[in-house]
Chain A
Amino acid sequence: MAATNLSERRLARLWSKYGFVLAVLVPILLWFSIFSFGPILYALYASLTNTHSLDPSRARFVGLDNYISLLDDRRFLASMSNVFRFVLVKGILNIVLSLGLALLLERLRRGRNFYLFFIFMPVVISQVAVAMLFLWLYDPRLGLINYLLSLVEIPPQSFIRSTAQAIYSVAIADVWKTYGYAAVIFLAGLLDIPQDYYEAAKVDGATRLQTFWRVTLPLLKNPLVLVMVLIVIDGVQHFTMVQVMTGGGPADSTLMPSILVYNYGLGANNYRMGYACAISFIMFVVIMAITVFQLRLFRSLYD
């Protein structure tokens, strides 16, 4: 009798201590198990099988076969080299433009929000809408860009219809939409740098350029790492704008790994879920590796 009382009291005490935590965490963890951990583990398992997307019951364990076949898959290799170029172009343009813009905005005494209002606007609008806008701008015959080029006597370009230009054209459209975001991060970082540092540099007779390389850039280390990591994570997974603008074409010249996951996994005549999941895990590993590398690099550069 006394024992039950004791354990009941202990239970009641535990409940009063952890009841709220349990009431919150149990549903949250249940959701994560069903919609996050579960699917991740299932994808890992599926990547080791020949699972069919619509009928997984006949799945057979094939070990690393999917990963090995990928090394010979021309389309997969093309998608990796495309995404590499995409991230590189996007990254360089994005950082140069957003940092330049942030430096300009920093100089202003007032009116910062006025300019930011316009410059930040593309960040908030939908990617599919941006893709539509650029489809129009890039149209070889009807588009504005070729019209503007014709005014300065440059022959018309094919942009997204050409295997040579398509990936860069899409990357530029993506930069137009996203660089305002990075600019705000850089601007916040610039405004955080105490004025005394610049005064000290001035007293020491540093030129503007020296001040930028020796004072500003090192102090922008954190925003720079953040922006670079975001660009890589975002770029390697990129799907929407490329899918809408080119669908991976022409001739696979803009094919992205995530488009391949979609095509192999759910495209007609494919439904190779195991194979597609293997691609998605390679993306995961690549993103992790580059992110860790970037963080290391910056630590060794400036610390």
Chain B
Amino acid sequence: MTDISLDRRAGGSLPSGGAGEDARIRLREQLIALATHLLLVIFAFIAFGAMMWMVLASFKSASEIIAKPPTFLPEAPTLESYALILREQAFGRFFLNSIVVALPSVLLILFSSSIAGFVFAKFDFPAKEVIFTIILSTLMVPPAVTLLPLFRLVSRLGWADTYQALVIPVCVSAFGIFLLRQFMEGLPSELLDAGRIDGASNWWIYRHIVLPLSVSALSALAIFSFLANWDSYLWPLVIIYEEKMRTLPLGLAYLLGWSSRPRYDLFLTGAVITVVPVVVFYSFFQSRFVRGVTLTGLKY
């Protein structure tokens, strides 16, 4: 799919009938508009209300969370569960781990995808399409297939319980290479040729012409690879044993086994800590997130 903004194409409308007819049609349209908004408010409430309720619950005491009837606003707002989760579980450390893993992973994906995309889009060399097709075909293989062999490999390398175990096996993306190739094929070759005539190196052209022109594709890729990385659960579950190396999703899931009774106060507080950075980031760049869907179209 192409990069389109979420707006209707310009177009005219049919001329309407007489004056009395007009008023009736206008009333009908207003009623329909009202119903549309009402339904949309319900949709928005189901999505946002549940999350809001979770955030509010994280400021309630353990007993208020399970009180009946349930309260919406905290009756006696408290940071109890935050204090508990940071004291009893190393959530600060998990947070740091998630960032230390996500940032290099995303940067390496951006770099490898853009430079390989550039090579596949703007260079001719033997077996180009064959190599590209082989890379692309790995997208169809479910991660469950490579899970156990990767577990063996990474364990043999002695990387269990390390950051590189969480970064290196995900730092190149077949999807990213595909996306950037598609995008860069649309860049005018004259621009690159102008650089070549001036004697610029390929690296210089990549750095100063191709990258700046690819910002919209790169930001979509950055957003979705960050989300995937922040969300990643199966691979860390397999390769991380030590508590202090857990990422947020892993630390969060381990809360389930922490006590014999479900501690919803801790579950929800942990969940809030996990989602807050993403939601803040999303709040600032909402349109880029949404446009990223139509641009990438293939992921998720």
Residues of A within 8 A of B (CB): 18, 20-21, 24-25, 28-29, 31-32, 34-40, 42-43, 46, 53, 56, 101, 104-108, 111-113, 115-133, 135-137, 139, 142, 144, 147, 176, 178, 180-181, 184-185, 187-188, 191-192, 194-196, 199, 202-203, 226, 230, 233-234, 236-237, 239-240, 243-244, 257-258, 261-262, 265-266, 273, 276-277, 279-281, 283-284, 287-288, 291
**Interfacial chain B residues near A237, Cβ < 8 Å:** 142-144
Q: Which residues of A contact B145 (CB under 8 A)?
A: 39-40, 43, 277, 280-281, 283-284
The closest CB in chain A to the CB of B202 belongs to A20
Q: Which residues of A contact B47 (CB under 8 A)?
A: 118-122, 176, 180
Query: Given contacts A133-B50, A277-B145, are A25 and B252 in contact (CB under 8 A)?
Result: no
Q: Are B264 and A53 in contact (CB under 8 A)?
A: no
B148 touches A277 (CB 8 A): yes
One digit per residue, 1 when the CB lies within 8 angstroms of any chain A CB and 0 when it does not, for chain B 208-246 equals 000000000000000000010011011001100000000
Q: Which residues of A contact B140 (CB under 8 A)?
A: 284, 287-288, 291
CB distance from A159 to the nearest CB of B (A): 13
Q: Is the CB of B40 within 8 A of A20?
A: no
Residues of B contacting A119 with CB < 8 Å? 43-44, 47-48
Closest residue on chain A to residue B69 by CB atoms = A147
From residue 147 to 184 of chain B, which have CB atoms closer than 8 A to chain A?
A: 147-153, 168-169, 171-172, 174, 177
B-chain residues with CB within 8 Å of residue A265 when the two chains form the complex: 147-148, 151
- B25 at interface (Cβ–Cβ under 8 A)? no
Binds A, one of B85-93, B186-194, B286-294: B286-294
The answer on a CB contact under 8 Å between B138 and A191 is: no
Q: List 5 A-B contacts (CB under 8 A).
A: A56-B152, A124-B278, A129-B271, A136-B267, A243-B234
Contact call B252/A280, Cβ cutoff below 8 A:
no
Q: Are A24 and B119 in contact (CB under 8 A)?
A: yes
Cβ of B105 < 8 Å from any Cβ of A? no
Q: Which residues of the partner chain A approach B255 to less than 8 Å between Cβ atoms?
A: 132
C-alpha gap A233/B140 in the complex (Å):
8
- With A36-B174, A277-B148 known to touch, is A133 a contact of B33 (CB < 8 Å)? no
A123 CA to B237 CA, complexed, in Å:
22
Cα of A124 to Cα of B138 in the assembled complex, Å: 25
B1 within 8 A of A: yes
Partner of A104, one of B12, B39, B271: B39
Q: Are A120 and B286 in contact (CB under 8 A)?
A: yes
Chain B CB count within 10 A is highest, among A40, A42, A122, A129, for: A129
Residues 277-300 of B, flagged 1 when their CB comes within 8 A of A and 0 if not, give 011001100110110011001101
Whether A39 lies near B146 (C-beta < 8 A) is yes
Residues of B within 8 A of A291 (CB): 140
Q: Given that A39-B146, A191-B4 are contacting pairs, would A133 and B271 also be in contact in the complex, using a CB cutoff of 8 Å?
A: yes
- What size tier do the contact residues of chain B reach? 35 or more
Taking CB atoms, residues of chain A closer than 8 Å to B274 are 125-126, 128-129
Identify the B interface with A (CB < 8 A): 1, 4, 6-9, 11-14, 32-33, 36-37, 39-40, 43-48, 50-51, 53-54, 57, 65-66, 68-70, 112, 115-116, 118-119, 123, 125, 131, 134-135, 138, 140-153, 168-169, 171-172, 174, 177, 202-203, 227, 230-231, 233-234, 237-238, 248-249, 252-253, 255-256, 262, 264, 267-268, 270-272, 274-275, 278-279, 282-283, 286-287, 289-290, 293-294, 297-298, 300
CB-nearest residue of chain A to B116: A28
A243: chain B residues at CB < 8 Å are 233-234, 253
User: Hey, which chain B residues are within 8 Å of A202, CB to CB?
Assistant: 14
Whether the Cβ atoms of A240 and B234 lie closer than 8 Å is yes
Q: Which residues of B contact A195 (CB under 8 A)?
A: 8-9, 11-13
Given contacts A119-B43, A191-B6, contact A284 B262 (CB under 8 A): no
B278 and A126 within 8 A (CB): yes
Extra contacts, 14 of them, besides A135-B264, A136-B54, A240-B233 (Cβ < 8 A), are A24-B115, A25-B116, A29-B131, A56-B152, A118-B48, A121-B279, A126-B252, A129-B274, A130-B271, A131-B253, A188-B6, A240-B231, A240-B234, A266-B151
Partner among B12, B44, B116 whose Cβ is within 8 Å of the Cβ of A24: B116
- What residues of A have a CB within 8 angstroms of the CB of B44 in the complex? 115, 118-119
**Distance (Å) between the CB of B291 and the closest chain A CB?**
9
Q: How far is the CB of B8 from chain A (nearest CB, A)?
A: 5
Known: A36-B146, A39-B149. A191 touches B8 (CB 8 A): yes
**List of A residues within 8 angstroms of B298 by Cβ:** 226, 230
Q: Which residue of B is nearest A241, CB measured?
A: B233
CA distance A124 to B116 in the complex (A): 27
Question: What is the chain B residue whose CB lies nearest that of A196?
Answer: B11
* Chain A residues near B253 (CB-CB < 8 A): 128, 131, 243-244
- Chain B proximity of A191: nearest CB distance (Å): 5
With A and B bound together, what is the CA distance between A46 and B270 in angstroms? 38
| Contact status B252-A117, CB under 8 Å | no
In the complex, the chain A residue whose C-beta lies closest to that of B275 is A125
* Chain A residue at minimal CB-CB distance from B177: A28
With A118-B48, A188-B1 already in contact, the answer to whether A107 and B33 are too (CB < 8 A) is yes
A133-B54, A287-B142 known; A139+B264 contact, CB < 8 A: yes
Closest CB in chain A relative to B105 CB, distance in Å: 13
Partner of B152 from the list A21, A31, A53, A196 (CB cut-off 8 Å) is: A53
Residues of A within 8 A of B150 (CB): 35, 39
Task: Please name all residues of chain A whose beta carbon is closer than 8 Å to the beta carbon of B174 when the two chains form the complex.
Answer: 32, 36
